[in-house]
A = this chain, B = another copy of it.
Amino acid sequence: MPSTLERLDCSRCDATFDAGRLNTLCADCGSVLLARYDLERAARTLTPSALAGRRTDQWRYEEVLPGSHDPLGLGEGMTPLHEAGALGRALGLERLFVKDESLNPTGSFKARGMAAAVTMARQLGVRRLALPSAGNAGGAAAAYGALAGMQVDLFLPQETPAPFRFEAVVYGARVHLAPGDIADCGALVREGTEREGWFDLSTLKEPYRLEGKKTMGYELAEQLDWTLPDVVVYPTGGGTGLIGMWKAFAELERMGLLRDARRPRMVSVQADGCAPIVRAFERGEDTAERWKDPWTYASGLRVPAAVGDHLILDALRESDGIAIAVSDERMAEGQLDMARCEGIFGAPEGGATVAAARALTERGWIRPGERVVLFNTGSGLKYPDIPGLDVP
């Protein structure tokens, strides 16, 4: 079935844009653009029974994805939704699940977004990509860029762990290490874009990474037999995954695919050392001020300012959700708990969701019988150690 992509709408003003052209942010107000589909037409063919016989990657939802007639695929998506009985008992939760995104190509959920974004960039004639990254997005961009035969320039903070730099070079990307954090790297990309003829793949400055990532929401619904959980616990750096799932839930409801349209309460997890969304949420603000001197060993959470901050905060509030920060120490404990109870070696960001679920259960915000999904966004293997753990 063909994609039903119609146009791109600005998330803030009334401007609308042609999806057949290369777009970045809204040309009128500089805000994030959102892909819009003909959901009525999509609903005619995107049905539970049609899905049973389809390909087993994210492109099974082809009606509501861009470029799906000729996607770049490495096996992204359809990751396991793992019933986490032992970890649930450890946290006092009876119906706990882990969505294990480490089984994506390049070992993280970033593959979903890059598969969609690079597919569209190729269709629209792009030859050179550039982006700032905390690590996993860079690896994914390097892989899909290689598959598409494009040149990829990555800007990574100097402290980025070695495995991220290693994989990027293996894929043939040009790696630039820069002082400062991912926002500083973003400035370097902006600076070079015109001079070098790069297309800037920064998340949400490019409209289709969001579309790839939203498939996490489609899969949740399909894997839970067209219902949604009570609580989704998501580690939040740039926040595109959370925004994407929230968009997916609305699309699913519009298409009549949900047997029960109650939406989950969304939980945004950040690190004590970099918690701009938590601070803004607690202060009741609509956007998040940039965090100074961000630090956490979860490099994917070392994001001091998110382009989509208002969209994250909107989703948290609309869903009756919450934002919570956890310490690196509790995150490390969470990583070990997930590995030793469930056999899943998650990223520190995955460990953060365990710590958050524990804290929210202790304070009664999550109730023991609720269906709770933790997102392990990537593989723990790309981080060279876990604070406090000795390895022979």
Contacts from A to B (Cβ < 8 Å): 52-53, 56-57, 73-75, 78-80, 82, 86, 100, 103-107, 143-147, 149, 162-163, 165-167, 169-172, 175, 177, 335-336, 339-345, 379-382, 384-386, 389-392
Contact = CB atoms under 8 A, between A and B. Distances in A.
A143 B336 CA distance: 12
A350 to B, nearest CB: 12
B74 A343 contact: yes
Contact of A107 (B172, B335, B379, B392): B379
Contacts of A386: 170
A278 to B, nearest CB: 27
B170 A74 contact: no
Contacts of A146: 339-343
A344 B74 contact: yes
Contacts of A342: 146-147
A80 B111 CA distance: 14
A79 B75 CA distance: 7
A112 to B, nearest CB: 13
Contact of A385 (B104, B166, B177, B382): B166
B57 A74 contact: no
Contact of A105 (B74, B103, B380): B103
A306 to B, nearest CB: 27
A391 B162 contact: yes
A88 to B, nearest CB: 13
A262 to B, nearest CB: 26
Contacts of A56: 56, 78
A162 B386 CA distance: 13
Contacts of A336: 170, 172
A147 B57 CA distance: 25
A72 B209 CA distance: 33
A80 B73 CA distance: 9
A339 B391 CA distance: 29
| Residue in A73, A107, A166, A384 whose Cβ sees the most chain B Cβ within 10 Å | A166
Contact of A340 (B162, B172, B343, B391): B172
Contact of A339 (B100, B171, B341, B385): B171
Contacts of A73: 80, 82
A74 to B, nearest CB: 6
Ranked nearest first, the 8 interchain pairs of A and B with the lowest CB-CB distance are: A75-B80, A147-B343, A143-B343, A172-B340, A56-B56, A146-B343, A170-B339, A52-B53
Contacts of A79: 75
Nearest to A51: B53
A385 B162 CA distance: 10
Contacts of A100: 74-75, 105
A335 B225 CA distance: 40
Nearest to A174: B392
Contacts of A167: 345, 380-381
Contacts of A52: 52-53
Given A100-B74, A167-B381, A172-B340, A80 B57 contact: yes
A386 B80 CA distance: 31
